[in-house]
A and B are shown apart, each in its own frame.
Chain A
Amino acid sequence: MAKYMIKRIGRSLLTLTLIICIVFILMRQMPIEGYFQNFDKLTDAQIQAGLKEQGLLDPMPVQLVHFFRNMFQGDFGVSHSYRVNVPVTQILKDKLPVSIKLGCLSILVAMCLGIPLGTLMARYKGRFFDKFGTLFIVFIQAVPAAVYFLFIQMYGTSLLNIPLLFNAGNWRSWILPVISMSLGNIAYYGMWLRRYMVDESNKDYVNLARAKGASGNTVMFRHIFRNAFVPMVQYLPSSFLNTVIGSIYVESLYSIPGMGGLLVTVIKDNDNNMVQAIVLLYATVGVIGLLLGDIMMTILDPRISLGKKEGGR
């Protein structure tokens, strides 16, 4: 087990290093406007001097080494157009708490609704509730999130008489973003939990429990649910982390001052250092989520043979 964990963590580190290198090299291919505040007004000499000062004229490997050294000291450079000359880490520090609060709320909502949804769908398989839930899941999966988020904002704000944009002080303006962010996870949890519970209910131990005379609900919740939840555990860390770090789309739709909305803003501003730092943050969170999922899975389910499992999902 320890050997597997070390191998798995090592692989994640390798992946992260590779991602950082790729992102860094790709970002250097961007037009150099993104490194200056007022590019149009500068003379050629000033531009060259500015590039030199930022170390952008060095050969690529040298730049990469510099970047790694700065990164370990927590220095991701400064913003060039979003908030001029403010360190990127400073900006992100202000933004993260907002995203985390919203993300935690929405994951809570998703769990409270998604897990009962999946369980009830499996319990009443083939009946009305199952069909209704399937309809919901198909809709959420097939229609792009970008589309139904818009409708939630459009009709939600006028129906509930809620302000269009987010305002941290007004709790009512939290409702729609939280619902939007949790819908995808509700459908996701519901779909997988139903599938795993249906798979489990065909196994022999379920027949044994029934033969013992356990009631339908006892079998469902005490026997099937517990076993079906184990494979679900693998998805939880990724979905938790990905939600907590902020939905790019929802945050910018409601002008929430969080991470996701920030990415859209700095992309539109061509602020290269900011884009680089945020992209790296998202990639890191994605990698860590998968890593935690695999680790939790191996801890919870001793039946998984580690030798044969080839890392990843």
Chain B
Amino acid sequence: MFSLKDKLSRDLEQAAETGIRREADRIAGISDKELFSFAEYDEKEAEKSGYSNYSYWGSTVRMFFKNKGAVAVLLLMLAILLFTFIQPHLPGQFDPNTVNNDPATSMALRNVPPNETFRFGTNNIGQDLWARIWAGTRTSILIGFAVALIEAVVGITMGVLWGYLRKLDFFFTELYNVLDNIPQTIILILVAYILSPSVKTLIFAMSLTGWIGMARFIRNQILIIRDRDYNLASRCLGTPTRRLVMKNLLPYLVSVIMLRMALSIPGAIGNEVFVTYIGLGLPTSTPSLGNLIDAGRAVMMNVSQRYQLIYPTVILSIVTISFYIVGNAFSDAADPKNHR
């Protein structure tokens, strides 16, 4: 401990000494004319001192790329996303809903284990599992993105109104207290039970209450930063409220908004699986990871057919885990407190 302190203080002294010597050298090098003449006011020079090359997005991206693991997961995630959307246009793909027959016997090719033609095998009525899984991933990711987007847009709008218009505060606070008390699963089950299952109704049911959490968060942050000096100054200069919200408030909240969006995607995908399991999911003509997993569950005790459960769950797990990890890493990187 003491030896460490000694070393530190010695370093410091040394540094100070070299600094003083260097400064003396510098002054000695300046001509008398420069030393003893008036410094004119120069606008450009004056601006220089206040200049910083800090850029919010630049720092965010730099911080994110420092996290090598997260970058790897991000690349994996992008590759999967890209592949799900170009897969149907690749050559030699089957239609996810066509029942494949054996050309020789014209019997349906049921439960064919994975081979060269059917990369992930076929299901119990002879549909190509590979095509169904990618079609299902498309559906599930679509639902996830739609839910996240609706939650973000509605949540931010309502949150800004809630924070800015004092008249609405009471109404929103009471609404929040009621909605927050109702278990999410129950709403999901109830709405899915009453409406006939389709992609649209599932998105509706899932985003029905999710926005209020986001709105409350935005509202709390707005209450905190609304009356800070820089916003007061902005308002005195006559900045319209909309510009104030867009330029001064929301950029501050980007990290949390992104985190919540990234986390609500795996949440929505998981909810879809759950709803399908309890019998309120999409019809099998619309493949989704939920109904593929449910179909796989039906045959899971049959060891030779387990691939029908394992493939969809592996794809689903990769998608949800990568969203979770990338979301967390990005929100760490986007938090200005972590920028140096």
Does B183 lie within 8 Å of A146, measured CB to CB? no
- Which of A29, A139, A283 neighbours the largest number of chain B CB atoms within 10 Å of its CB? A283
What residues of chain B lie closer than 8 Å to A242, measured between beta carbons?
A: 183
Does B177 lie within 8 Å of A11, measured CB to CB? yes
Chain A interface, DSSP helix/strand/loop, else mixed: helix
Task: Give the distance in Å from the alpha carbon of A164 to the alpha carbon of B278 in the complex.
Answer: 19
- A286 and B186 in contact, given A12-B181, A26-B194, A142-B324 (Cβ under 8 angstroms): yes
When each residue 279-301 of chain B gets 1 if its CB lies under 8 Å from chain A and 0 otherwise, what string results? Answer: 11000000000000100010011
What residues of chain A lie closer than 8 Å to B270, measured between beta carbons?
A: 143-147
Does A312 lie within 8 Å of B189, measured CB to CB? no
When each residue 181-210 of chain B gets 1 if its CB lies under 8 Å from chain A and 0 otherwise, what string results? Answer: 111011001100110000000000000000
Does A310 lie within 8 Å of B274, measured CB to CB? no
Does B309 lie within 8 Å of A150, measured CB to CB? yes
Shortest Cβ distance from A236 into chain B, in angstroms?
17
Task: Give the distance in Å from the alpha carbon of A290 to the alpha carbon of B306 in the complex.
Answer: 41
Task: Give the distance in Å from the alpha carbon of A279 to the alpha carbon of B193 in the complex.
Answer: 11
- A18 and B321 in contact, given A144-B270, A147-B273, A154-B300 (Cβ under 8 angstroms): no
Does B274 lie within 8 Å of A144, measured CB to CB? yes
Shortest Cβ distance from A273 into chain B, in angstroms?
13
Interface size on A, residues (CB 8 A): 44
* A264 interface residue (CB < 8 Å to B): yes
Does A23 lie within 8 Å of B190, measured CB to CB? yes
Does B300 lie within 8 Å of A150, measured CB to CB? yes
* B277 interface residue (CB < 8 Å to A): yes
Task: Give the distance in Å from the alpha carbon of A23 to the alpha carbon of B186 in the complex.
Answer: 10
Does A268 lie within 8 Å of B279, measured CB to CB? yes
Task: Give the distance in Å from the alpha carbon of A153 to the alpha carbon of B324 in the complex.
Answer: 25
Does A142 lie within 8 Å of B185, measured CB to CB? no
From 9 to 42 in chain A, residues with beta carbon under 8 angstroms from any chain B beta carbon are: 11-12, 14-15, 18-19, 23, 26-27, 29-30
- A287 and B181 in contact, given A144-B316, A279-B189 (Cβ under 8 angstroms): yes
Does B317 lie within 8 Å of A147, measured CB to CB? yes
* A127 interface residue (CB < 8 Å to B): no
* B320 interface residue (CB < 8 Å to A): yes
- A267 and B320 in contact, given A15-B177, A144-B270 (Cβ under 8 angstroms): no
When each residue 292-327 of chain B gets 1 if its CB lies under 8 Å from chain A and 0 otherwise, what string results? Answer: 010001001100001001000100110011011100
Interface size on B, residues (CB 8 A): 38
Task: Give the distance in Å from the alpha carbon of A310 to the alpha carbon of B301 in the complex.
Answer: 51
* A252 interface residue (CB < 8 Å to B): yes
Shortest Cβ distance from A272 into chain B, in angstroms?
9
Does A248 lie within 8 Å of B278, measured CB to CB? yes
What residues of chain B lie closer than 8 Å to A129, measured between beta carbons?
A: none
What residues of chain B lie closer than 8 Å to A283, measured between beta carbons?
A: 182-183, 186
* B173 interface residue (CB < 8 Å to A): yes
Task: Give the distance in Å from the alpha carbon of A102 to the alpha carbon of B193 in the complex.
Answer: 27
* B121 interface residue (CB < 8 Å to A): no
**CB closest chain-A residue, reference B320:** A142
Task: Give the distance in Å from the alpha carbon of A26 to the alpha carbon of B186 in the complex.
Answer: 13
* B178 interface residue (CB < 8 Å to A): yes
Task: Give the distance in Å from the alpha carbon of A73 to the alpha carbon of B239 in the complex.
Answer: 61
Q: B279's contact among A14, A30, A146, A267, by CB below 8 Å, is which?
A: A267
* A62 interface residue (CB < 8 Å to B): no
Does B325 lie within 8 Å of A142, measured CB to CB? yes
Task: Give the distance in Å from the alpha carbon of A86 to the alpha carbon of B9 in the complex.
Answer: 85
* B266 interface residue (CB < 8 Å to A): yes
Shortest Cβ distance from A263 into chain B, in angstroms?
7
* A240 interface residue (CB < 8 Å to B): no
**CB closest chain-A residue, reference B275:** A146
Does A151 lie within 8 Å of B313, measured CB to CB? yes
What residues of chain B lie closer than 8 Å to A154, measured between beta carbons?
A: 300-301, 306, 309
* B164 interface residue (CB < 8 Å to A): no
Does B266 lie within 8 Å of A142, measured CB to CB? yes
When each residue 58-88 of chain B gets 1 if its CB lies under 8 Å from chain A and 0 otherwise, what string results? Answer: 0000000000000000000000000000000
* A54 interface residue (CB < 8 Å to B): no
What residues of chain A lie closer than 8 Å to B173, measured between beta carbons?
A: 310
When each residue 170-181 of chain B gets 1 if its CB lies under 8 Å from chain A and 0 otherwise, what string results? Answer: 000100111011
* B269 interface residue (CB < 8 Å to A): yes
Task: Give the distance in Å from the alpha carbon of A264 to the alpha carbon of B192 in the complex.
Answer: 13
When each residue 220-262 of chain A gets 1 if its CB lies under 8 Å from chain B and 0 otherwise, what string results? Answer: 0000000000000000000000100000110010000000000
Q: B293's contact among A26, A30, A150, A263, by CB below 8 Å, is which?
A: A150
Task: Give the distance in Å from the alpha carbon of A151 to the alpha carbon of B177 in the complex.
Answer: 37
Shortest Cβ distance from B60 into chain A, in angstroms?
22
- A26 and B190 in contact, given A144-B270, A146-B277 (Cβ under 8 angstroms): yes
* A138 interface residue (CB < 8 Å to B): yes
What residues of chain A lie closer than 8 Å to B306, measured between beta carbons?
A: 154
Does B324 lie within 8 Å of A312, measured CB to CB? no
Does B297 lie within 8 Å of A150, measured CB to CB? yes
Does B278 lie within 8 Å of A141, measured CB to CB? no
What residues of chain A lie closer than 8 Å to B317, measured between beta carbons?
A: 142-143, 147
Does A311 lie within 8 Å of B274, measured CB to CB? no
Q: Write 19 A-B pairs (CB below 8 A) sorted by A numbering.
A: A12-B181, A15-B182, A19-B181, A138-B324, A141-B324, A142-B317, A142-B324, A143-B270, A144-B266, A144-B270, A147-B317, A150-B297, A150-B309, A153-B300, A154-B306, A248-B278, A279-B190, A282-B183, A283-B183
B-to-A contact residues, CB < 8 Å: 173, 176-178, 180-183, 185-186, 189-190, 193-194, 266, 269-271, 273-274, 277-280, 293, 297, 300-301, 306, 309, 313, 316-317, 320-321, 323-325
| A-B interface, 7 closest residue pairs, ranked by CB to CB distance from nearest | A144-B270, A142-B324, A286-B183, A146-B273, A142-B321, A15-B181, A264-B278
